[in-house]
Structure 1
Amino acid sequence: MHFSAIPFFLLVAALGAPQANAHALRNQTLRTHPSIILSAIHGGHFHSPHVSISAADGASTAPTVTPTEASGARVPKVPPSSPDSDETEEPSRSGKISPKVLIFSLFPAEGDVWIDRWAESGLGDLHAVQSTTPGLCMLYPYVHCTADHSVCQVTTGMGEINAATTAMALGLSPLFNLTSTYIMVSGIAGVNPQRATLGSVAFAKYAVQVALQYEIDAREIPVSWSTGYVAYGTKRPLEFPQVLYGTEVFELNAALRDDAVAMARNASMADSAAASEYRMRYKSMGALVAAATQPPSVMGCDTATSDVYFSGDLLSEAFQRTSEVWTNGSAEYCMTASEDNAILEVWVRLAIEGLADFSRVMVMRAGSNFDRPPTGVTAYEHLLVLNQNGFTIAIDNTFNAGIQVVKGILSQWDCKYKDGVKPENYVGDVWGSLGGEPDFGPGSLTGGHPIKPDGQTGSLMRRGMGRGAGVGRPGMPLR
């Protein structure tokens, strides 16, 4: 997750220290005995893959001490059950939780804005049902859902490993059925001043794992090189990888992306005078970065994934060009973040097994900081000294824009979204794992056929996918 370059004391707050304002950023670590958790959920439901706990299940023996938000814990807020309700009905009697929309947040502030502002949506209580399943992040062990399970939200933890682990845990959980669920990755990001500005929201068609390359320290590169990043299997920068890991590029459903952009444009976007003041630093740089000086808006443009929080002209330009080269010039490098390709790889693997629908995935990012500095500001100052003041408006705009998409999907579920939005473009990874021919890279490994579930396709390692064997040859028939 790439967020604003802000002073250390504010960065600590962003990562979880309690604050007094209405949208306080919370440390969601819950260090309590299970009986204390049981006391905290007294009067309502708490679900795990193996047990559905209600107030009748031993609450009278629970300790009287309960965790509070003042302690830094995100305490389940479950409304009291009515006297006539069957407190164990969901999910033990009605089956798995099958949300229409699942929101992936990456760290506390991104998740809290959905919880804290959900009442504005008129869609019930996003805290009505608390669920957990093995493999969720230790800091954020709950999936929050509305009472009818139509919308759920989970916080994964920052970085590719945390995001992938949480996503796979949900996808494989016996508690959830995600086969018809729309996924929305909802987070803040670095933003390219050539494409957008602080507070702007972008929905991606492409996600590019730009840092999955060799790297030579820039102080030691040949004088003719513009960057120390070199794609695997190549000898110089800015070439397509000749050894593929399979996660380099994902292409999403453009029709769904366009729907999301159209719905999100109904939002009223948050802005601030302080953010506007930093934008004006780019005004003297001319037409190339004119987008940086504009108020926040909603658009379609693409994301770059890197666990390294990079900043500055040289790295940003290198990864912008990498995004273009790896997508045959199609990607519009716009937002930079740390989790998108990780979640997308999980969803490809789940889709292969029939556990998810990759064509229902959306990636939404809001710009909290520019990826490169304005004239007269060093990369060091831009990243670590100056406050760009984009953090708060970016967080708010993930909700402002995202809730419009959620409402649109729910309101048009039966007439449009229940059966999915048919993609008109290629959808999937660089290998063609879900079928079809990628419009970037060497082409499908399997002649356009989808990979079969349960390992039925056999070992692709034998088809040239070993790290030392280079890229698999396109068009090879399935055995």
Structure 2
Amino acid sequence: MCSITKLWVLNALVFLLGFPFILCSIILPNDLPKHRSVRYIPGNRAEELHMMRQRRNAPPGRSDGSSDIIKPKVMIVAMFNLEADAFLKNYTPTLYGLNITIPGLSPRYPEVYCTTTGEVCHITTAEAEINAAASMSALIYSRMFDLTETYFLIGGISGINPNYGTTGTVTFPRFAVQFGLQYEIDSGQLPGGGGFGSRFFTQGTKQFKSNLYPGVLYGTEVFELNEALRKRAFLAANGAKLVDTEEAAKYRRLYTMPAARASPGVTLCDTGTSDTWWTGSVLAEAFGNLTILLTNGTGEYCTTQQEDNASLAVLVRAAAADLVDFGRVIILRTASDFDRAPPGVDELYHLLQAPQGGFAGAIANIYVAGVRFVNEIVTQWDGMYRVGIRPTNYIGDILNALGSPHGHVPDIGVEDQFFIPVMY
């Protein structure tokens, strides 16, 4: 495991000694911020506006002037600039070999970047659910790409449940649960006798109680991914020399859970999507219970982020139109912070000011872990990945909109709400 504070010294020694490799697989800039909010200081905002004005003048299409459709083996998906830089500044061959400007992408990130061959490409959607859905839709329906055999690696940072991991940890979920699709009542107006502390309860129900199955489903509440592919990604990433920081190690020692106190690792556990950046054990417990409820007792909530259900909703609809293969989707989420404070620490302080120290390691580990799987797909394309990794489980959404394409009985949702009747 590598410490960011020592990386520049180690890599300087490597250069002087002439070794043909780079320690820890990634070089991090010295000015990498500790918190995402650094992007909104005036200096960064002015630079961003300047870049947006420049990009706005770029005509749609490929930078090489060709009209050929690109057929990537892998499409890497990031949500904001620092997540994107993890791959864009480190991947070899360069992802700046070919730039494709697509109408409808975020004005902050209007281009898809690809290697010269087009085998590996990269899109940045911008943050939160609406941005993710809009950008992914623009990508797929641009028809500048043939994505029917493409593997999608959604790689970003997240908050982590200290019962399942620590800052810097790399996670691969099977289920993505949308936390925000619930009823909510202000905490100052909660009725007595609810039996739980959270102000959330499931939609379409008639009682203020926890663990009641929703009476109405919108279709984006839960998505299930290819378990066989997830395990391959896990095996590829497991054993990577993950980046850590001394500050993160210090803060994690405040927790009592063994998983929180341990060094970063690679694990299999599930993720939850919410536009609201929340914190605290009360909400964490409520969302953990919702994950169990909506996955019929199978899911294990361990990370929280803002985009995945939106991206997956677009990919399911594209799969229904035979534009993508939903069995080729992987989510990789690294832990930048804890979803609740350690004992004796105020939750508001924990959210806004605590020196958790996990941000830099989480950004770095998107690449450190993710590149191993990307490289495996590219190098083993003909022998394994071209034909695909056949799912061993149900894949799709909670409404079975894909109609169980591999014949597995849905293990999420309820049959009377399935969009397409399943024939067994």
Q: TM-score, normalised by structure 2?
A: 0.85
In the TM superposition, what is the alpha-carbon distance from 1:422 to its structure 2 partner?
A: 0.3
Is 1:231 paired with 2:189? no
Structure-1 residue corresponding to 2:286: 318
Distance 1:392 1:15, change over 3 A: farther
Distance 1:105 1:29, change over 3 A: farther
Structure-2 residue corresponding to 1:276: 249
In 1, Cα distance between equivalents of 2:364 and 2:41: 17
Q: How does 1:279-298 map to 2 (within 5 A)?
A: 279-282=252-255, 285=256, 289-298=257-266
Is 1:302 paired with 2:273? no
Q: Which has the higher contact order (CA 8 A, sep 6+)?
A: 2
Q: Which amino acid aligns with 1:435?
A: G
In 1, Cα distance between equivalents of 2:63 and 2:259: 52
Contact 1:247 1:430 in 2 (8 A): yes
Is 1:439 paired with 2:411? yes
Q: How does 1:321-360 map to 2 (within 5 A)?
A: 321-360=289-328
In the TM superposition, what is the alpha-carbon distance from 1:447 to its structure 2 partner?
A: 2.1
Distance 1:9 1:260, change over 3 A: closer
What is the root-mean-square deviation of aligned Cα atoms in Å?
2.1
Q: Which amino acid aligns with 1:232?
A: Q
Structure-2 residue corresponding to 1:387: 355
Contact 1:429 1:438 in 2 (8 A): no
**SS of the residue 2:391 aligns to:** coil
Q: Which amino acid aligns with 2:87?
A: W
Structure-2 residue corresponding to 1:63: none
Q: How does 1:251-270 map to 2 (within 5 A)?
A: 251-270=224-243
In 2, Cα distance between equivalents of 1:105 and 1:243: 31
Structure-2 residue corresponding to 1:161: 130
In 1, Cα distance between equivalents of 2:36 and 2:143: 37
Distance 1:346 1:31, change over 3 A: closer
Contact 1:264 1:298 in 2 (8 A): yes
1:356-394 Cα shifts (integer Å, max 9, x gaps): 110100011000000011000011111012121100000
Unaligned ranges ≥5, structure 2: 1-32
Q: 2:48 aligns with which of 6, 21, 27?
A: 27
In 1, Cα distance between equivalents of 2:351 and 2:54: 41
Q: Which amino acid aligns with 1:13?
A: V
In 1, Cα distance between equivalents of 2:53 and 2:397: 41
Structure-1 residue corresponding to 2:38: 13
Q: 2:82 aligns with which of 106, 109, 133?
A: 109
Is 1:419 paired with 2:387? yes
Structure-1 residue corresponding to 2:60: 48
Distance 1:445 1:175, change over 3 A: closer
Q: TM-score, normalised by structure 1?
A: 0.76
Structure-1 residue corresponding to 2:108: 139
**SS of the residue 1:263 aligns to:** helix
Contact 2:63 2:100 in 1 (8 A): no
In the TM superposition, what is the alpha-carbon distance from 1:448 to its structure 2 partner?
A: 1.3
**SS of the residue 2:159 aligns to:** strand
In 2, Cα distance between equivalents of 1:380 and 1:430: 34
**SS of the residue 2:244 aligns to:** coil
In 1, Cα distance between equivalents of 2:41 and 2:113: 18
In 2, Cα distance between equivalents of 1:28 and 1:255: 43
In the TM superposition, what is the alpha-carbon distance from 1:37 to its structure 2 partner?
A: 5.8
Larger radius of gyration: 1
In 2, Cα distance between equivalents of 1:254 and 1:29: 43
Identity %: 40
Unaligned ranges ≥5, structure 1: 1-7, 20-25, 39-46, 55-87, 450-474
**SS of the residue 1:117 aligns to:** coil
1:29-60 Cα shifts (integer Å, max 9, x gaps): 624467x967xxxxxxxx834xx555xxxxxx
Task: Say how many residue pairs are matched.
Answer: 380
Distance 1:16 1:112, change over 3 A: farther
Contact 2:34 2:360 in 1 (8 A): no
Contact 2:160 2:304 in 1 (8 A): yes
Structure-1 residue corresponding to 2:30: none
In 1, Cα distance between equivalents of 2:63 and 2:280: 51
